[in-house]
């Protein structure tokens, strides 16, 4: 059976090759700086974000920057232990573009093509983990799960906080679409929505509570 190390090494090499062969994508991205998923391999609950940022690259773990601080706050408030979760991203490298000063990089949104190229890696990760519950943070991971589960594309505004059944490689699971923690930095009205949705998550998490 493949280990996580095998899966990560295989898809990293594949993705590096595919990005370098896609001249349009290659020209629009910075150097590929990877951050892998992190957490217990037997976690029943998997949390999926969009892509690592600068701080995640620096520390080598997902959700350790500003968005991670908001996530930690809500996990604490709802009594869900972060170290009981497996945390990963759809795109495993920083979505970078050249910054204003030479040698610097800024974040940018994911391009449809790179979400598509990243799907096989996320799918394999989920097949390996077999989570009973998946939490998607933001529109990109929601879209990714809709593709992986082969169901129609859902709008986050219409389905956030709801438990949705999915089959991944014939294994049944449930996912809950949530807003991205960083969305409340730009739109304060999403904070209470995010908090209410996490109450639903807490009820579904059960054994990860303190």
Q: What residues make contact with ligand URA under the rule CB under 6 A?
A: 49-53, 56, 62-63, 65, 67-68, 89
* Two structure tokens written together for 106: 């800024």
Shortest spacing between CB 175 and ligand URA, in angstroms: 16
Beta bridge partners of 107: 96
Chain residue at closest Cβ approach to ligand URA = 49
Nearer to ligand URA, 53 or 149 (CB): 53
Shortest spacing between CB 139 and ligand URA, in angstroms: 11
Contact 45, 88 (CB under 8 A): no
Nearer to ligand URA, 146 or 167 (CB): 146
Separation of alpha carbons 47 and 129, rounded Å: 12
Q: Which of 69, 41, 40 lies closest to 53 in space, CA to CA?
A: 69
Shortest spacing between CB 56 and ligand URA, in angstroms: 5
3 state DSSP class of 179: coil
Separation of alpha carbons 112 and 35, rounded Å: 20
Shortest spacing between CB 2 and ligand URA, in angstroms: 23
Nearer to ligand URA, 110 or 146 (CB): 110
Nearer to ligand URA, 171 or 185 (CB): 185
Nearer to ligand URA, 63 or 121 (CB): 63
Shortest spacing between CB 99 and ligand URA, in angstroms: 18
Nearer to ligand URA, 67 or 168 (CB): 67
Separation of alpha carbons 144 and 48, rounded Å: 10
Shortest spacing between CB 194 and ligand URA, in angstroms: 14
Which whole-number Å values give the CA distances from 78 to 110, 136, 146, 195, 202, in the listed order?
A: 30, 17, 27, 9, 6
Is 121 buried (19+), middle (13-18) or exposed (0-12) by CB count in 10 A?
A: buried
């Amino acid at each position: 059976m493949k280990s996580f190390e095998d899966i990560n090494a295989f898809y990293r090499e594949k993705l590096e090759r595919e990005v370098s062969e896609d001249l349009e994508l290659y020209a629009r991205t910075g150097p590929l700086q990877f951050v892998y998923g992190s957490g217990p391999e037997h976690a029943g609950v998997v949390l999926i974000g969009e892509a690592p940022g600068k701080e995640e690259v620096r520390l080598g773990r997902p959700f350790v920057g500003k968005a991670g601080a908001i996530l930690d706050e809500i996990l604490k408030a709802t009594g869900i232990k972060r170290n009981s979760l497996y945390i990963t991203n759809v795109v495993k490298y920083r979505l970078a573009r050249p910054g204003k000063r030479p040698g610097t990089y800024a974040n940018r949104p994911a391009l449809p093509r790179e979400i598509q190229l990243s799907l096989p890696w996320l799918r394999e990760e989920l097949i390996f983990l077999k989570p009973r519950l998946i939490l998607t943070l933001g529109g990109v991971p929601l879209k990714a799960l809709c593709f992986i589960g082969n169901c129609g594309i859902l709008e986050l505004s219409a389905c956030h906080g709801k438990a949705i059944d999915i089959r991944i490689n014939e294994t049944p699971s449930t996912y809950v679409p949530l807003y991205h923690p960083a969305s409340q930095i730009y739109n304060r009205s999403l904070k209470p929505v995010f908090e209410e949705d996490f109450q639903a998550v807490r009820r579904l998490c059960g054994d990860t509570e303190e």
